[in-house]
């Protein structure tokens, strides 16, 4: 297993529970996720058990516990998006990438997620692709987005 050194990150934070979330944010900023082999050092620094630190990380959806793909596609599954065809978009994305929501393709090119609601119901159905929000998306447009990245990503 690859060693992820977090000592320099920990040195920048006080040794208390109040540092846990900011430490997680900094670690995730560096590695793109919270590597399993960092929990022991983080927990020791803030004086909690590794299980308690892991529990906090797994509770908050902002923290990732596995490496993420180079590209992300997030599809809304809220009511407005669902009514306007979001289910078809979700099925298409899942078929094209051959992963379930919350998974990353084996080649690490794509991470696919569903989101309860983006709060952009007037633009339904909504897809956020690599951080850019796309509204009134059709299955064909979702296919084009994926294929455009697929053609340009090694």
Q: Tell me if the pTM is above 0.85.
A: no
Tokens of 131: 């951080």
Domains of the chain: which residue ranges?
7-59, 71-152
Average pLDDT over residues 98-121: 95
User: What pLDDT is stored for residue 154 in this prediction?
Assistant: 42
Confidence of residue 139 (pLDDT cuts 50, 70, 90): very high
The four Cα atoms 84, 152, 132, 27 give a dihedral, to 10 degrees, of: 120
User: What pLDDT is stored for residue 75 in this prediction?
Assistant: 97
Across the chain, what does the average pLDDT equal?
93
Q: Is the pLDDT of residue 146 over 80?
A: yes
pLDDT in tens, 14-43: 999 999 999 999 999 999 899 999 999 999
Quickly name the fold that domain 71-152 has. Glutaredoxin (3.40.30)
* Buried/exposed code over 31-43 (b: 16+ C-beta within 10 A; e: otherwise): bebbbeebbebbb
Query: Residue holding tokens 């991470």?
Result: 111
Q: Is the pLDDT of residue 153 over 50?
A: no
pLDDT in tens, 58-69: 999 889 999 999
* Buried/exposed code over 57-90 (b: 16+ C-beta within 10 A; e: otherwise): beeeeebbeeebbbbebbbbbbebbbebebeebb
The four Cα atoms 142, 146, 148, 149 give a dihedral, to 10 degrees, of: 150
- Of 11, 58, 62, the closest CA to residue 39 belongs to 58
User: What pLDDT is stored for residue 116 in this prediction?
Assistant: 93
Structural Rg of the chain based on CA atoms: 18
pLDDT in tens, 73-87: 999 999 999 999 999
């Amino acid at each position: 297993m690859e060693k992820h050194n977090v000592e320099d990150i920990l040195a920048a934070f006080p040794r208390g529970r109040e540092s846990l979330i900011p430490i997680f944010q900094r670690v995730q900023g560096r590695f793109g996720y919270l590597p399993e082999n960092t929990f022991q050092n983080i927990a020791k620094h803030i004086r909690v058990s590794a299980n308690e630190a892991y529990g906090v990380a797994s509770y908050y959806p902002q923290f990732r516990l596995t490496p993420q793909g180079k590209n992300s596609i997030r599809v809304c599954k809220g009511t407005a998006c669902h009514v306007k065809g979001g289910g078809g978009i979700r099925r298409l994305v899942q078929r094209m990438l051959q992963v379930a929501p919350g998974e990353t393709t084996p080649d690490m090119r794509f991470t696919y997620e569903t989101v309860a609601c983006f709060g952009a119901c007037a633009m339904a159905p909504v897809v956020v692709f690599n951080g850019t929000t796309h509204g009134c998306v059709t299955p064909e447009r979702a296919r084009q987005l994926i294929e455009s990245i697929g053609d340009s990503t090694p």
